[in-house]
Structure 1
């Protein structure tokens, strides 16, 4: 019996070693590809940006959305296809994703992967290229991509120095009837991260001081951004997608919630399953007045907190049977939908890497493109 246990332990360690090695290779290779193609992507975008200057803005945005979808499918190739991630959908997800509509995507915030889950959901709804995010201003510092996100229609905001006029200006661009949009907002602003209990305690104290519900699994949502979106885009947005994301393995054997997996954990294959609950709320049901929007949003988060109990409960049996209890549906991507993008960028990289002119162009795009994009963002003072 002892020998049998030793053998099982040996094979378990072998499997763990294999998983670690494969995950590390995927992390290194995937990171190099996803980051490394930035100058090449910039080159394509610059060509389209120049060619579309003589056309209306919506035509530029149509082409840019196609490019954005192409790149994000490359990201999904590594984060979903290569990791063999299982996505389980709940609530209105299956029916809602059959629609082609402009959406305000409201989601809980707990991981650096949350924005990738928006990719996973929107690609299933045929709207991957239409994703635009309300993002913290520090992301402007990303070489090349910092500028590109703004050009794509994303909105930068500063914590503590929120510029209402800047956000309104950005939202007005998205009002165009020929620019379909999935605008992603994480109302909590900061991640709910058990590894940083100070943030959670401050949120709880703020709720108590302001007679707001104390949430068990979320931070207190911020209402100003949500109100501005509701006011400016009320006639443009068809529906709100109230999205709740739960990562498998977040709760330990003792029933204690831990940190959600982050980007590296995902590429290492440490998260095997993601649960996504979507509730579709027609925009006509959302108020426009700031005070009413605040009450509406806090009530929404109370309901999200109740839903989260099904996934973060210490009752292991309930957690293990959550798919059955909530009528979950497994959803898989077609391999070609992401592999095609990987092959495209692989072929595109050949002339950049294998020719002297290509290498020189790559370096110039990386260097001068970064400097130019930083300068442009400073001059425009986008947030």
Structure 2
């Protein structure tokens, strides 16, 4: 049973080497096995592409849904952190409760741009970039135009800082701030505006809002870096994870955001100055300020245990393919009498 220490780090006490081995083995088999099955099913889905692109994309969306369920499942079973959601007035209805079943849900439009200060995906249409605008512009332009034409639900997640915050990247950000005559941040990296501005312009006809999330973790103090304290090994193998993940949400109407490059850059830097102040508050109080009497607590868990079946059903086509390959490679299988 995980216990929370004075810094808000949940950890399994007195975990023996044998328990560590069992936990690690179960995680690897469960996560890696299911990921491999889902990825193999994606390759099988390519058979649909020549006949119906729409059917192919619907099929890939189902694999994406299953992968999302898998991520929720491993979090629920191996690192059951809790989201502590706060907002300002602009996003006061971000989290709502379904009074029929008591569950919380996110009350957002189907198509949004999401920016944050935290950090098989080819099939999911993730946009892989080289962090060079000259090299990335054509690829990003084509992708944005395709997304603009499609009216399917879309969450475009962007990290304007471009990378994770660490001791090395903080020094790089500080040097750039000094060279450019900018005020450096204490807890964040300086944001890059080019990519976000481009995406916003391309999608402004079908996307109305940008949601800004500022994220803080229990157990991380000012001057420390989350990636150093919470490695994948510590979280999933050793059972040491943040008991609470604090998320502060703000919302901005795209119609109200300047589209001129210099003005947008200044607008974005101002938002990051505010985010840095939010992080200062978080490290001081251990939480973000909420407009609610108390923050919204959102558990990371499946709606019911039967959702595990959705993850496993991708084993079916894999078993069928294995059977066909085995049969046609080695002759017809003759059942024993």
Q: Which category of TM-score, normalised to the shorter sequence, fits these structures? A: 0.7 to 0.9
Alignment of 1:198-277 (within 5 A): 198-251=168-221, 256-260=223-227, 261-267=230-236, 268-271=238-241, 272-277=243-248
Q: Deviations for 1:85-139, whole angstroms, at most 9, x for unmatched residues?
A: 2111110331592133211110102xxxx4xxxxxxxxxxxxxxxxxxxxxxxxx
Query: Which of 38, 47, 51 is matched with 2:48 structurally?
Result: 51
Alignment of 1:157-176 (within 5 A): 157-160=129-132, 162-176=135-149
Alpha-carbon spacing, 1:332–1:19, altered in 2? closer, same or farther (3 Å): farther
Query: Which of 80, 83, 87 is matched with 1:87 structurally?
Result: 83
Alignment of 1:339-354 (within 5 A): 339-346=305-312, 348-349=314-315
CA distance in 2: counterparts of 1:20 and 1:296, whole angstroms: 52
Alpha-carbon spacing, 1:283–1:263, altered in 2? closer, same or farther (3 Å): farther
Structure 1 gaps, min length 5: 1-13, 115-144, 362-383
Query: Which of 342, 357, 380 is matched with 2:323 structurally?
Result: 357
Q: 1:154 maps to what in 2?
A: 126
SS of 2:135's equivalent?
Answer: coil
CA distance in 2: counterparts of 1:108 and 1:301, whole angstroms: 9
Query: Which of 317, 330, 354 is matched with 2:297 structurally?
Result: 330
Say if 2:78 is the partner of 1:74: no
Higher helix share: 1
Alpha-carbon spacing, 1:47–1:320, altered in 2? closer, same or farther (3 Å): closer
SS of 1:279's equivalent?
Answer: strand
Alpha-carbon spacing, 1:276–1:348, altered in 2? closer, same or farther (3 Å): same
Q: Deviations for 1:132-151, whole angstroms, at most 9, x for unmatched residues?
A: xxxxxxxxxxxxx1xxx233
Report 1 or 2 for greater relative contact order, CA contacts < 8 Å, sequence distance ≥ 6.
Answer: 2
Q: 1:364 maps to what in 2?
A: none
Query: Which of 273, 283, 302 is matched with 2:273 structurally?
Result: 302
Query: Which of 94, 105, 116 is matched with 2:114 structurally?
Result: 105
Superposed displacement of residue 170, structure 1: 1.2
Q: Deviations for 1:203-229, whole angstroms, at most 9, x for unmatched residues?
A: 012112213231111111111111210
CA distance in 2: counterparts of 1:226 and 1:355, whole angstroms: 43
Alpha-carbon spacing, 1:354–1:192, altered in 2? closer, same or farther (3 Å): same
SS of 1:331's equivalent?
Answer: strand
Superposed displacement of residue 325, structure 1: 9.1
Q: How many residues align?
A: 299
Q: Deviations for 1:73-95, whole angstroms, at most 9, x for unmatched residues?
A: 11111123442221111103315
CA RMSD between the two structures: 3.3
Higher strand share: 2
Superposed displacement of residue 244, structure 1: 1.0
Contact 2:84 / 2:298 at 8 angstroms: preserved in 1?
yes
Q: 1:36 maps to what in 2?
A: 33
TM-score by length of 1: 0.68
Structure 2 gaps, min length 5: 1-10, 97-104, 328-337
Contact 1:105 / 1:185 at 8 angstroms: preserved in 2?
yes
CA distance in 2: counterparts of 1:94 and 1:357, whole angstroms: 46
Contact 1:71 / 1:341 at 8 angstroms: preserved in 2?
no
Say if 2:162 is the partner of 1:189: yes
Superposed displacement of residue 249, structure 1: 0.3
Contact 1:103 / 1:182 at 8 angstroms: preserved in 2?
yes
